[in-house]
Structure 1
Amino acid sequence: MEKGLREQADRMQILDLVARYCRGCDRRDFALVRALYHDDAIDDHGAMFSGGPDAFVAWLPKAMEPWELTIHAISNSVIVLAGDRAEGEHLVRAWHRTHPPERQEFIVHGRYLDRYERRGGVWKFLHRQLVFDHGEVRKVDEEAMARLGAEARHGRADRDDPSWGLTLLAGLSGAT
């Protein structure tokens, strides 16, 4: 029973790690993203980028520049544990919207193939690989955006996003 509870706790910690990565990218909290990788980790985004975590975080602002907003949504996660090491496969739908005036949506359907390691009791990425499975590009329906979002708060890719008003959530940031 104790082993089963430990494995469930490990899985939940790894899923939280993956969710924090998405938040860090989408809210442009690159200090948070950096905190999720071991110093000797590798991030492999194919021809776009492959290298260590410091270089990855240095590359992210330029990579995110064309996008007014992004949403990284994870589904169908599989995690295999082996002591202080684990591997995971997570389906990702990474939605990117360009800046006005003629906004477009670029939607990547893919997977993150991850290797994790627990060091000092903390799970972090040891290797993260993005696998592209499918993609879509379409124009933003500006009329629908105006009609559906007329009375709602709008999401942002910076610290003006409403989520930064939640003290505990904002406290996830790796920045001081």
Structure 2
Amino acid sequence: MYKNTIETVIAKQDISDVIMRYARAIDRADGPLLHSCYWEDAIEEHANSYTGPAHDYIDGAMKRLQGGDVMMHNVGNIHTELEGDTAWVETYLITFARFPKDGVSWDTLTGGRIFDKFERRNGEWKIAHRKIALDWNRDEPSCEGWCLGLFKPEDPRTIMGEKGKGDLTYTRF
């Protein structure tokens, strides 16, 4: 039976922090923050859309994300198996994204899991290799009612999330 020690608890927390930082970075289209999640020599395997150096993947994604619509990565269960300076991590993920298709906005909701090989180098945990497994998906035309009109995005008191440094996560209050 596996028993946690203070060292394993700290390692798992450090790894979870990287995963949460990744979600924040990808949703806010923050390239430098996203780069900080991966080692320079890390590999990204993103289903059939990309396989190669993670930093190249990030640079290509930033071009699409900065001009794109809303996106949200919701992190669920995180299972971590530690083996010295290597950790094998399975993270459940639900993502929402909006994409244009034939001049119409479509919403896509996808459930899947991220499989990461983390490495600790000089005391710091980062992703060394990432693969994803897609479990389910739902695509449909966008239809926002903002809780049947309860919320009004056009009202200046309503704070809407946005890409980049103008988002509340960076500006604070």
TM-score (norm 2): 0.86
Q: Can you list the C-alpha shifts for 1:89-111, whole angstroms capped at 9, x where unaligned?
A: 00110110236x84321111110
Q: Distance in 2 between matches of 1:23 and 1:104?
A: 22
- Structure 2 contact 73–95 (Cα < 8 Å) conserved: yes
- Structure 2 contact 29–66 (Cα < 8 Å) conserved: no
- Structure 2 contact 42–55 (Cα < 8 Å) conserved: no
Aligned-residue RMSD, C-alpha: 2.2
Give unmatched runs, 5+ long, in structure 1.
168-176
Is 1:50 aligned to residue 85 of structure 2?
Answer: no
Q: Which has the higher helix share?
A: 1
SS of the counterpart of 1:156? coil
Q: Can you list the C-alpha shifts for 1:31-86, whole angstroms capped at 9, x where unaligned?
A: 11112111221011021111112211221124436741110011011000111110
- Structure 1 contact 89–114 (Cα < 8 Å) conserved: yes
Identity of aligned residues (%): 24
The ranges of structure 1 where at least 4 consecutive aligned residues each deviate by more than 3 angstroms after the TM superposition are: none
Label 1:148 to 1:161 Cα distance change in 2 as closer, same or farther (>3 A): farther
Q: Distance in 1 between matches of 2:46 and 2:71?
A: 16
Q: Residue 25 of structure 1 aligns with which residue?
A: 26
Is 1:165 aligned to residue 171 of structure 2?
Answer: yes
Give unmatched runs, 5+ long, in structure 2.
none
Q: Residue 86 of structure 2 aligns with which residue?
A: 85
TM-score (norm 1): 0.85
Using the TM superposition, name which of 127-136 and 58-67 deviates more: 58-67
Count of matched residue positions in the alignment of Structure 1 and Structure 2: 165
Kindly state the Cα deviation for residue 162 of structure 1 after the two structures are TM-superposed. Answer: 1.4
Q: Distance in 2 between matches of 1:53 and 1:109?
A: 21
- Structure 1 contact 66–98 (Cα < 8 Å) conserved: no
